[in-house]
Amino acid sequence: MTAAAATLADAPAQPAGFPGGMTAFASDFAARSPLWTCGECPFQFDVADGHARTLLIGGENATGKSVLAEALLRWAKEKFGCAPMKVTIRERTGAGTYEMAAMRRQMMFGSEEKHSTGSVSAAVVGRAFLNMNNWAEQGVKPLLLLDEPELGLSEGFSHAMGEWIGQQIGCLSGKAFGVIVVSHSKRLGKGLALGLSERPAFAQMDSVQASFEQWLRDSQPRTVDDLLALDRLDAYGHRKMVEMIKAVRSMT
pLDDT digits (tens, 9 = 90+) for 145-174: 999 999 888 888 999 999 999 999 999 999
Domains of the chain: 45-236 (3.40.50)
Query: Which pLDDT score, from 0 to 100, does residue 247 have?
Result: 62
Q: How far apart are CA 173 and CA 159, in angstroms?
A: 24
Is the pTM higher than 0.85? no
**pLDDT tens digits, 47-103:** 999 999 999 999 888 888 988 999 999 999 999 999 999 997 555 555 444 444 444
- Supply the DSSP string of the chain, one letter for each residue: --HHHHHHHHSPPPPSS-TTHHHHHHHHHHHH-HHHHSS-----EEEE--EEEEEEEE--TTSSHHHHHHHHHHHHHHHH--EEEEE-HHHHHS-SSS---HHHHHHHH--TTTS-HHHHHHHHHHHHHHHHHHHHHTT--EEEEEESTTTT--HHHHHHHHHHHHHHHHT--TT--EEEEE-S-HHHHHHHHHHHTSPEEEEEET-SS--HHHHHH--PPPPHHHHHTHHHHHHHHHHHHHHHHHHHHHH-
What pLDDT does residue 103 have?
41
Sheet holding 200-205, edge to edge: 45-48, 200-205, 51-58, 178-182, 142-147, 83-87
Q: Is the pLDDT of residue 8 over 50?
A: no
d(CA 45, CA 61): 14
Q: Would the pLDDT of 3 be above 80?
A: no
Q: How far apart are CA 144 and CA 53, in angstroms?
A: 10
Rounded to whole angstroms, how far apart are CA atoms 95 and 134?
Answer: 29
Strand partners, 145: 86, 180
